[in-house]
């Protein structure tokens, strides 16, 4: 029985990999694959891409079991740097439940693709899931859903271009000492999250609203971008998102 289980697990893993690689299958092959993977033949499905904390280590241990407890079927594949899953979305409620489970168990960034109906489109969905994953904060365990995060996926979709934009826009901030740079960027980040309200940002930062306004003025002066001009706000938002998505090299203190 143990040998049969092992063979079955290897077969499932190989089929997941074939679908993720975008190999085209005829109708009979798709039917057989769905049966082996224990998911329905028809969607909707979504692909999950989770960043591994270390090479070869599962990013989401026991995730299939956790999802099964909520009635969500899934099949998973471990790659050296990613754990990938094909998830069947049985009802509209399954996507919020999936995201909740991912947030409860993720150690690093996780991306969720748009939904799709044909298993043959799994390879395309994987590309979207990986873009969504890269759209999260590199220093966090953010779960980014592609369709819910247009700004994040836009910046992650062209990392080389956005790295140039980030340098051009936020270069004067990045050149500051680490503590000052973090203070200004964190203030800007929270100000965006609070819808541009200095009062709400101040509550989260535990400072006076005038302190937030002073920091924002410093950002505007150093970058030359106005936080009352839509173009300046857009450029700062894109540049900040690009900075957050890029892992920072370890400092000498962390290395020691």
Most confident of 5-14, 21-30, 217-226: 217-226
| Percent of the chain at pLDDT exceeding 90 | 54
CA distance 88 to 73: 6
Give 101-119 pLDDT, tens digit per residue. 999 999 899 999 999 988 8
Specify the pTM: 0.75
Residue 27's pLDDT band (cuts 50, 70, 90): low
Q: How would residue 67 be classed by pLDDT, with cut points 50, 70 and 90? A: very high
pLDDT for the residue numbered 165: 86
CA distances from 245 to 37, 108, 116, 147, 198 (A): 33, 12, 26, 18, 24
Query: Six-digit token pair at 207?
Result: 């400072």
Q: pLDDT tens-digit profile of 157-170?
A: 777 888 888 899 99
The position carrying tokens 């740097």 is 81
- Distance (Å, rounded) from C-alpha 184 to C-alpha 145? 27
Instruction: Determine the Cα–Cα distance for residues 151 and 158; give it in Å rounded to an integer.
Output: 12
Query: Which parts of 143-229 fold into alpha helices (H)?
Result: 150-156, 159-174, 178-193, 198-205, 209-223
Query: Domains along the chain?
Result: 2-149 (3.30.70), 159-255 (1.10.10.2840)
Q: Which two tokens stand for residue 178?
A: 């680490």
Quick one: pLDDT at residue 9?
60
- Residue 6: is its pLDDT beyond 50? no
The per-residue pLDDT for range 162-212, each reduced to its tens digit, is 888 889 999 999 999 999 999 999 999 999 999 999 999 999 999 999 999
Q: Which conformational region is residue 4 in: left (phi greater than 0), alpha (psi within -120 to 50 degrees), or beta?
A: alpha
Picking from 149, 147, 83, the residue whose alpha carbon sits closest to that of residue 115 is 147
């Amino acid at each position: 029985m143990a040998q049969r289980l092992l063979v079955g697990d290897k077969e499932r893993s190989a089929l997941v990999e074939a679908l993720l690689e975008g190999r085209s299958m005829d109708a009979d092959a798709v039917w057989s694959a769905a049966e082996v993977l224990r998911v329905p033949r028809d969607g909707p499905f979504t692909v999950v891409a989770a960043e591994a904390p270390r090479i070869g280590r599962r990013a989401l241990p026991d995730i299939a079991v956790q999802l099964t407890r909520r009635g969500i079927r899934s099949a998973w594949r471990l790659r050296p740097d990613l754990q990938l899953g094909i998830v069947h979305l049985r009802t509209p409620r399954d996507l919020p439940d999936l995201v909740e489970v991912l947030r409860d168990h993720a150690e690093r960034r996780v991306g969720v693709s748009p939904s799709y109906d044909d298993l043959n489109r799994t390879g395309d969905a994987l590309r979207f899931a990986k873009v969504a994953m890269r759209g999260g904060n590199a220093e966090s365990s953010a779960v980014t859903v592609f369709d819910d995060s247009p700004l994040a996926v836009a910046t992650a979709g062209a990392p080389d271009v956005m790295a140039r934009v980030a340098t051009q826009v936020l270069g004067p901030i990045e050149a500051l000492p680490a503590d000052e740079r973090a203070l200004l960027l964190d203030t800007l980040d929270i100000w965006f999250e609070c819808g541009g309200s200095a009062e709400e940002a101040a509550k989260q930062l535990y400072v006076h609203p005038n302190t937030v306004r002073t920091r924002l003025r410093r950002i505007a002066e150093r970058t030359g971008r106005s936080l009352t001009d839509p173009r300046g706000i857009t450029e700062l938002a894109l540049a900040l998102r690009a900075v957050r998505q890029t892992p920072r090299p370890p400092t000498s203190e962390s290395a020691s």
